[in-house]
Amino acid sequence: MARTTTRAGSTARRGHLGTHAVLAVGTTLMVVPFAWQFLTSLKTLSSATRVPPTIEPDWHWSNYRRVFELLPFGDQFLNTVLVAVGRTAGQLLFCSMAAYAFARLRFPGRNLLFGIFLSVLMVPPPLFVIPQYEIMAKLGWLNSLQALIVPGLFSAFGVFLLRQFFLGLPRELDEAARLDGASPLRIYWSVMLPLARPGLLALTILALLWSWNDLFWPLVVNTDPDKMTLSAGLAALQGQFQTDYPVLMAGSLLASLPVIAVFFVMQRHFIEGIALSGNKG
């Protein structure tokens, strides 16, 4: 009996070691690009383009100053924050309302309509660019923040994510609220939303990341550097014949720091929300 227990303990320890080894390799693969980005941002252009590449930086801190000289970094940072916050707030409101309707309300054609929503996820996003651009042009919104915010106020994935979360909540809560005379809107706002906090936080992080990293749409609707987001502004640093990679890496690192900080602060809620959203099919 003792030998069996010892053998089982040894097997479990080997399993834990294997798991930690795989996680360590994965962590290294994720950290190395950021480390290389930081080291490159401290090099000169000749050092950054040297073949074979070198790891040692030149401690060229002036690259960070040049980012602010070449770009209206402050204005573009503010534009990025406003766009990310606006899109995220819109998705939290509209996606949660639609998800609640699909998960908790009974109405004809509910499953068919939800299937149509999911089919949007299979359509390549570039197909929406031309009609969305024409709408923005007819509204006179080109080179404006609303052209960046309004098309991102809703997402089919956000509806799917929150619907899965709402399906995991006990239906007795709805019945108890109805017995107390609460309307569907009151149940959604006062009962369901507070309980869906992990799912809402997960969608918050995903929406922030998507909005912060969005490049294609800002390049299409905005040509004024003062109205661009950071992703579009940094793309302007890539020249046709030559690119100052250290300055580009410095700007990219500065643009990445806020979302990295947000993820580290909210990572526990993000993982919890994604895990709980898969409880119901």
Confidence of residue 263 (pLDDT cuts 50, 70, 90): confident
pTM of the predicted model as reported, rounded to 2 decimal places = 0.84
φ/ψ of residue 239, rounded to 5? -80, 165
Instruction: Select from 95, 255, 79 the least CA-distant residue to 159.
Output: 95
> pLDDT (tens digit, 9 = 90+) per residue, 166-178?
998 888 988 899 9
Q: Take residue 208 and report the two structure tokens written for it.
A: 């922030």
Q: Looking at residue 255, what is its pLDDT? A: 92
Confidence of residue 23 (pLDDT cuts 50, 70, 90): confident
Q: Looking at residue 236, what is its pLDDT? A: 84
Pairwise pLDDT comparison (12 vs 238), residue with the higher score: 238
Q: Looking at residue 95, what is its pLDDT? A: 94
Residue 126 predicted with pLDDT over 90: no
Q: Looking at residue 237, what is its pLDDT? A: 84
Looking at every residue in the chain, the average pLDDT score rounds to 86
Residue 7 predicted with pLDDT over 50: yes
Mean pLDDT of all residues in 184-207: 89
| pLDDT more than 90, % of the chain | 43
Residue in this structure with the two tokens 């693969």, named with its chain if needed? 29
Confidence of residue 163 (pLDDT cuts 50, 70, 90): very high
Q: Looking at residue 276, what is its pLDDT? A: 60
* CA–centroid distance for 62 within its chain: 30
Look at 66-75, 85-94, 255-264 and tell me which has the smallest mean pLDDT. 255-264
Mean pLDDT of all residues in 98-126: 88
φ/ψ of residue 126, rounded to 5? -60, -20
Mean pLDDT of all residues in 152-172: 90
Whether 75 contacts 226, CB under 8 Å: yes
Q: Which residues contact 245 (CB under 8 A, 6 or more apart)?
A: 40, 45, 48, 49
Residue 239 predicted with pLDDT over 90: no
Q: Looking at residue 223, what is its pLDDT? A: 87
Q: Looking at residue 281, what is its pLDDT? A: 45
